[in-house]
């Protein structure tokens, strides 16, 4: 079983690129080699020690092939150091600080971090059940004279917060939404929650049509005091985004929502995030720049 690493233990385990390659070989082929092209399970020595050449189809497979690490231009040791810093620090790091610490350009740090953020996407175990609260909020700069739910110079975000009792919060979910219409809210709520969830929302009119199809109780907001813990989470997210990253563009807000949600929902096993993200990166297809900035990359 993987154990969390302190910075000293990390530096001791990963001293050079070969240590990183060795770690990835165990991640990619934990039960022995299996060719990704023909499925054959026998191999001979490939071009390097971390290649495997299939005996059947002669495909020479690099351990980085068909993974998110594929196409990484910088030394693998630097990629490991960036991933460790992103996961070991409680609040993460900006790409400027990350690039400075590891010794790469900010653009290089940004691209690698975006790949890591993509691996922080939600899965089935992150769906919220039981008792939960839902609300929407605006993210963006202040616009004089534009109050309410105006989306001018702002982005809309839907938040769902699990209630565990004793004012404790379980999992949360955050989604970048296009508008506040009932159909939009319903679509995202169904993706973020389990069928048995009992939701509490404010009295916003878009939730009214959803009551016939979902278990929703509407209450008066009382300027946020009716759902105090949920509004605390909204404040924490905004402070995190402003304090660590200062700002983010509309096109990439979804990535920072993924990162914050992943960090919060895994707050009790932070020592294991490094290993888990390595596993996710080894079991996902390559994510080149054009994919990350495309609509597919946003929705994945």
pLDDT in tens, 175-222: 999 999 999 999 999 999 999 999 999 999 999 999 999 999 999 987
Within a domain: residue 20? no
Number of alpha carbons in the 13 Å side-chain half-sphere of residue 30: 5
State the pLDDT at residue 2.
47
Report the predicted TM-score, pTM, of the whole model to 2 decimal places.
0.90
Query: Residue 122's pLDDT band (boundaries 50, 70, 90)?
Result: confident
Within a domain: residue 248? no
Percent share of the chain, pLDDT over 90: 71
Within a domain: residue 165? yes
Query: Residue 292's pLDDT band (boundaries 50, 70, 90)?
Result: confident
* pLDDT, mean of residues 144-151: 65
Within a domain: residue 84? no
Within a domain: residue 93? no
What is the number of domains present in the chain?
Answer: 1
Within a domain: residue 191? yes
State the pLDDT at residue 296.
56
Pairing of strands 60-62, 168-177: unpaired
- Using DSSP's 3-state secondary structure scheme, residue 91 falls into coil
CATH number for 165: 3.30.420.10
Within a domain: residue 140? yes
Dmax of the chain from CA atoms?
70
Instruction: Name the residue range of residue 131's domain.
Output: 124-234
Nearest CA-CA partner of 287 in 39, 66, 6, 18: 66
Within a domain: residue 184? yes
State the pLDDT at residue 110.
93
- Using DSSP's 3-state secondary structure scheme, residue 148 falls into coil
Dihedral-angle region of residue 160 (phi above 0 means left; psi in -120 to 50 means alpha; beta otherwise): beta
């Amino acid at each position: 079983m993987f154990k969390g690493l302190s910075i000293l233990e990390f530096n001791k385990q990963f001293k050079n690129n070969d240590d990183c390659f060795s770690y990835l070989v165990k991640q990619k082929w934990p039960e022995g080699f299996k060719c990704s092209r023909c499925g054959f399970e026998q191999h001979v020595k490939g071009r390097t020690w971390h290649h495997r050449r299939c005996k059947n189809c002669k495909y020479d497979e690099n351990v980085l092939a068909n993974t998110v690490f594929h196409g990484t231009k910088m030394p693998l040791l630097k990629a490991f150091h960036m991933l460790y810093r992103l996961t070991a620090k409680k609040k993460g790091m900006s790409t400027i600080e990350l690039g400075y610490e590891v010794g790469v350009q900010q653009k290089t740090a940004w691209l690698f971090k975006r790949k890591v953020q993509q691996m922080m996407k939600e899965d089935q175990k992150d769906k919220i059940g039981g008792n939960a609260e839902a609300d929407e909020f605006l993210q963006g700069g202040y616009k004089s004279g534009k109050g309410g739910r105006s989306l001018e110079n702002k982005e809309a975000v839907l938040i769902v917060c699990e209630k565990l009792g004793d004012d404790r919060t379980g999992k949360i979910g955050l989604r970048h939404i296009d508008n506040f219409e009932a159909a939009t809210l319903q679509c995202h709520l169904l993706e973020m929650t389990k069928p048995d969830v009992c939701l509490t929302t404010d009295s916003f009119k878009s939730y009214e049509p959803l009551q016939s199809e979902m278990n929703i109780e509407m209450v008066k907001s009382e300027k946020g005091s009716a759902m105090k813990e949920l509004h605390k989470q909204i404040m924490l997210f905004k402070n995190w985004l402003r304090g660590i990253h200062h700002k983010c563009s509309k096109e990439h807000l979804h990535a920072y929502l993924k990162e914050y949600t992943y960090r919060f929902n895994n707050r009790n096993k932070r020592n294991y995030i490094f290993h888990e993200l390595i596993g996710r990166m080894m079991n996902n297809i390559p994510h080149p720049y054009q994919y990350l900035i495309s609509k597919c990359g946003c929705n994945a």
